[in-house]
Structure formats: structure tokens, C-alpha cells
Amino acid sequence: MPGDFHPIAVLDSGVGGLSILREIRRQLPEENFLYFADQGHVPYGPRPLTEIQSFVRGIARFFLLHDARVIVLACNAASAAGLHDARRTFPQTPFIGMEPAIKPAAERTRKGVIGVITTKATYQGELFASAVDRFANDIEVVTQVCPEFVTLVEAGRLDGEEVHQAVQSYLTPLIEAEIDELVLGCTHFPFLTPIIRAVIGEQVEIVDPGPAVAQQTKRVVSQYPNRSRSTGSVTYFTSGDASIFHEIAQQLLDESIDAQQVVKVRWVDGDVVEFLD
């Protein structure tokens, strides 16, 4: 991969961040991208925040070796655990992070009850508590941790009886609480939107943070213009199995990806290196 592309770099524990990459590419189609799926460590959700922090630092170092000019944490768990730490560790690098979109949901709710589905790391992080404090003080926030959704999306299982049942059982408490806004607090979840919609009904607004994160990325990127060639290229890295990533990414993005665009990497002593057979 050429070193003069000054790409926008996007990371997630796995394929979830593709829901964010898709939105960013829609808004910035000319840009070059790197996408990192840390599938050797997925899921991040159940892990201690300090461990996730060290993953984010390792991936950021790898991105900077590849001349990344902006880094997007397209992962709520990575942002909850590692955004502040990454900004402190790499003060020259602009980082874009995310938090569950509690603000728009709290502003819109008519019933005063919103639901948030997320993972444990995000729920335990400071960003979550502070978003509830700042924006949802006077309403009820019903939170549900849904680790199984991450596993389903990683396996490309987006429909069928078993998926339906899992979604039904996680969402039942939220339906019973009569929420009218449902915040997707994990970037894997937008890929389950059709089945979530089927279970939750038409009356509940589903809040996907992708477009807002893409807007924010566009704003930040405009302050760091690319002085190199922009070709709209995407290179994908995975610390898991490259052929499985290739297959699932094509399914989720609904586009064909050249196998050459997917590069296997591995972790060595806290750093990411490209895999050589």
C-alpha cells in the first residue's frame, strides 16, 4: 500500500464500524480509507476498559505508521474506554469518537422514556454516564446490554428464527417500558435494523449515530486537507481471519471487495504488525 495517501483511518473491534465507514464514504467518496477490524479481540464489550485502551493505542500507532491523518473510533466501546487516553497519548492526531446518541433521542421523545441498547464497556464508561447526565436528566433511560448482537453480526447472521428470538428477548423489557426512541449504542447494531424494526414496531424511532459521526468526520477532515492523491481507495486490516472478514464485509456493505484489499495483521507485544506467512 502506498505511503503517500494520508488516509482517514477507522477502527472497530470487528465489522460493526463498517456501518460508520459506509456513512463516511457516502459523505467523503474521494478520500482514501484504512479500516481496522480487531477481530482477534472481538468482542470488546465484556473486556476491562484498560485492556480496550491498550488495543486502541496499538491500532493508533499502526495507523500512524500508515500516515493516517484523522482517526475515527467507529466503536462505542473503544471510544468509552480509549478516546481520552488516545488524545492524551497522540496529541498531534485528531481523533473522532462516539457516544450513544442520547441527546437527539432525549430531545425528541414525547413519552419521556427512551431505550438504549449497547455493550457492557460502553455502559460502564464515563461518556455514557455523562451523556445521560447532560441530556437525559429529566427523562427515563432504559438501558439493555446486548452482547449477543455483536456475535450475530460478526457471523453475518442478520435474520432467521434464532436472530429474531434473540432480538425479541433483549427488546421485550424496552417494549414493556413503552419507549418511543431506541438508541443504537453499538456500531454493530445498525446491521440488525430490519429485524429490530420488525420486533419494535413502527412507532419507535430508531436512532443510528452513523450519519452524525460522518458529519463530524467531514468537519474535522476539512481542517486537515489531504495534500496527496485521493482515489477513494479502502484497505481493510483484520487481526482475525482475512477470508471470513472478506466474506462478511461484502455481505454487510453489499458491495464486492477485492480480496487484495484485505490484509491480515497480528498483535505482537502490544503492537500490530502485518502478517507474513
**Active site positions, annotated:** 75, 186
Burial class of residue 30 (count of CB atoms within 10 Å of its CB; 0-12, 13-18, 19+): exposed
When the beta carbons of 44 and 135 are compared against ligand DGL, the nearer one is 44
Measured CA distances, 60 to 45, 229, 263 (Å) = 19, 22, 17
Helix axis angle for 210-222 and 18-27, nearest 10°, is 50
- 71: closest CA among 228, 190, 224, 250? 224
Q: For residue 272, what are the β-bridge partners? A: 267
- 206: closest CA among 130, 117, 136, 277? 117
Q: Determine how β-strand 262-268 pairs with β-strand 33-37.
A: unpaired
Q: Is residue 13 a contact point for ligand DGL (CB under 6 A)?
A: yes
Q: Is residue 43 a contact point for ligand DGL (CB under 6 A)?
A: yes
Q: Which stretch binds ligand DGL (CB under 6 A): 85-93, 128-136, 185-193, 217-225?
A: 185-193
When the beta carbons of 6 and 125 are compared against ligand DGL, the nearer one is 125
Q: Is residue 213 a contact point for ligand DGL (CB under 6 A)?
A: no
d(CA 154, CA 16): 8
Residue of the chain from 122, 143, 217, 235 that contacts ligand DGL (CB under 6 A): 122
Q: Is residue 238 a contact point for ligand DGL (CB under 6 A)?
A: no
Q: Is residue 119 a contact point for ligand DGL (CB under 6 A)?
A: yes
| Helix, strand, coil percentages, rounded to 5, for the chain | 45, 20, 35
Rounded to a whole number of angstroms, the minimum distance from the CB of residue 16 to ligand DGL is: 3
When the beta carbons of 192 and 199 are compared against ligand DGL, the nearer one is 192
Phi, psi of 207 (to 5 degrees): -105, 110
When the beta carbons of 14 and 58 are compared against ligand DGL, the nearer one is 14
Q: Is residue 109 a contact point for ligand DGL (CB under 6 A)?
A: no
Size of residue set near ligand DGL by CB under 6 A: 17
DSSP three-state, residue 63: helix
Q: Is residue 186 a contact point for ligand DGL (CB under 6 A)?
A: yes
Rounded to a whole number of angstroms, the minimum distance from the CB of residue 196 to ligand DGL is: 15
Q: Is residue 132 a contact point for ligand DGL (CB under 6 A)?
A: no
Q: Are 32 and 7 in contact (CB under 8 A)?
A: yes
The enclosing H or E element of 274 equals strand 271-274
Q: Is residue 239 a contact point for ligand DGL (CB under 6 A)?
A: no
Q: Is residue 209 a contact point for ligand DGL (CB under 6 A)?
A: no
Q: Is residue 44 a contact point for ligand DGL (CB under 6 A)?
A: yes
Binding residues (CB under 6 A) for ligand DGL: these are 12-14, 16, 42-45, 75-77, 119, 122, 150, 186-188
